[in-house]
Each structure stands twice: as structure tokens, then as C-alpha cells.
Amino acid sequence: MRHFLDIHTTTPDDLRAIIDTAKSVKKAREGQPKAALDAEQPLADRMVALIFEKPSTRTRVSFDVGVRQMGGQTMVLSGADMQLGHGETIADTARVLSRYVDMIMIRTFEESTLHEMAEYASVPVINGLTNRTHPCQIMADIQTFEEHRGPIAGKKVVWCGDGNNVCASFIHAAGQFGFDLTFAGPPPLDPERGFIEEARAKGATIEIVRDAQEAVKNADLVVTDTWLSMHDSQSARERRHNMLRPYRVDRKLMGHANKDAIFMHCLPAHRGEEVSNAVMDGPQSVIFDEAENRLHAQKAIMRWCVEG
């Protein structure tokens, strides 16, 4: 049994195997109807619980479709359905679910919820997102970059904006896949220092540059994410806007990156805020390939889990 909890806790060899599987799974499905089943059925007769304490579009649909394409069935559970940790412990919930299902994907708030679920479950657990990390998204991003520009090792990735959970997983990936990452954002929103030091210890160059135009020089990939959380108050939204406005990705900023640099955003985007429409819809944008690859990368992750 294998859990997929974070990029920095999965070996580089296993991460590379997952990416290679994702590419081959995608290629094998070219030309098939979207609803068609995969030729191989690694999840045949298996039930997968999809737990959402946080609402979702891409994570919910991509996991649900992926399980079905691989021959399995899904049970989608919301936070209201389960109230994890309220009344019944997470450990007991994990033990009970393990008697019913063959795999658990959880999208939750606290990282401790994910780890307690994995500790006590006797089936594989996948991190669909926590407040701290978002590894499935970055696996799709690595796949997308390599489809467009070849191996990511040795490349320069620039993150513009908030050092959030997606940024954290990009830093983890820098250490595991051998690329360099520059963070461009305001000091109050810097990524966790421990994540930076761990990636540096693995040989990645991780830099913090306050000037966005300076940061994106020689960039092969420019990435951003929404500035706002659905839980932010109006005053918090205004403060974040003021802090992050210098890190907005527009044509002028992209003009300082390499000519063949590409742009990513995990979506949903607030068009005109963290990124301009011209960049979102421009020739350097690969955001919809990135969104599609959530399906293929997550299928590869689930296959890796069950084949373990």
C-alpha cells in the first residue's frame, strides 16, 4: 500500500514514474470518446471515497472521471456529510472507511487531518489539497511543462504572488525534479522557510526576489495563483490586493521572461487581478492543458497507489 501525501515525501524515482505513466495514459486515450474506459482497468471492482471539506471543480471532476475511466466507482462525501473530527475522531473515520472502500482522496483544511487519515487508514490515501500543500496540481504542471518544453530539470520557474499551498508544492518539486525556482512576492506572503531550505539541501536553487521584472528574467515558466481566499473578509481582500498588485502577470511582465516561456495558473482565476486576459488567453498560456492534465496525472497517482 502506498499513500500519496506530498511531493517531498515521495521519492524522485516514483515521481518520475508517475509522470511517465501520466504521459502514456494520456497518449493511449487520444482519439477515444471522453467517457470511454481505459484498455487496462486498474481500479476494476474498486470503490474510491472522494472527501471534500473544501469545495472544488477540477479536483472533484478529474478524480471522479479518472476513477470511472479506470473501471472503478466513486463515493463523493462533503464536509457536511462527514464533519471530520467533530463527534467521531479522524482516526476512527479512517478505520471505518477502510472497511468500505479501496482508496481515499481527501481535500481538506488542516494538514494534520490528512496525516491522521493516512496513519489510521488501511487503504491508500491521496492528498487532494490542504491549506499547506497541493501536490496533485504540481504533478499535472510538471507533465504540462514537459509536454511543451521537454524535461523540466535545470529550468527556471518563477512564482509570482502569494507563497501559498500551490507554491509550497512547487518548491517541493524543485528539490525532487531538479529545477530552480524564484519566488516574487511581498515579505508577509513568503513561502515557508523550512520548505525552501529542504529544496536547497537537495540541490535546487531557490531564490526570493522582490522585483517581479527582475525575478522573471530568463524564466522558462511563470506561474501565479489567485490572490484571494473564499474565506477572506473585505478588509483582508483590500490589503492583499495592495500587497500583490506589483506581482500581477501581464504582457509587460511576460516580456521580461525567455521568449519561449510559458504561463500557468491552477485555476480558478480572477481575470484582471493576478493575471491579465491577454496573458490568460495568449500564445504563452497553457492553462487548459494544465487543467486537463489533472485528470491524467491523478490517474497515474491512483495507479501508483494501488500497484504498490
Report whether pLDDT(287) > 90. Answer: yes
From 29, 240, 265, 294, active-site residue: 294
What's residue 230's pLDDT?
A: 57
CA nearest neighbour of 34 among 62, 73, 58, 74:
62
Whole-number percent of the chain with pLDDT over 90? 91
d(CA 281, CA 285): 6
Sheet of 103-107: strands edge to edge?
73-78, 47-52, 103-107, 125-129
Q: Which of 29, 134, 240, 303 is catalytic?
A: 134
Cβ-contact 266, 237 below 8 angstroms: no
Per-residue pLDDT tens digits for 156-189:
999 999 999 999 999 999 999 999 999 999 999 9
pLDDT of residue 232: 67
Chain CA centroid to CA 224, Å: 12
Catalytic annotation on 107?
Answer: yes
* 55-94 pLDDT per residue, tens: 899 999 999 999 999 999 999 999 778 877 677 899 999 9
Partnered with residue 182 across adjacent β-strands are 158, 207
Q: How far apart are CA 205 and CA 182, in angstroms?
A: 8
Q: Report the predicted TM-score, pTM, of the whole model to 2 decimal places.
A: 0.96
107-125 pLDDT, tens per residue?
999 999 999 999 999 999 9
Residue of 3, 69, 137, 176 with catalytic role: 137
213 is catalytic: no
Options 3, 46, 107, 265, the catalytic residue? 107
How sure is the predictor about 291, in pLDDT bands with cuts at 50, 70 and 90?
Answer: very high
Cis peptide before 268 (omega within 30 of 0): yes
First to last CA, the chain: 5
Active site residue 225: yes
Q: What pLDDT digit, counting tens, does each position of 198-256 carry?
A: 999 999 999 999 999 999 999 999 999 999 875 667 778 889 999 999 999 999 999 99
- Choose the catalytic residue: 266, 284, 296, 305: 266
Q: Position 101: which residue type?
A: V
- Residue 4, pLDDT > 70, answer yes
Mean pLDDT of the chain: 96
The predicted model gives 284-303 an average pLDDT of: 98
Contact 98, 123 (CB under 8 A): yes
Q: Is position 294 annotated as part of the catalytic site? A: yes
For residue 304, give the H/E element and its range: helix 287-307
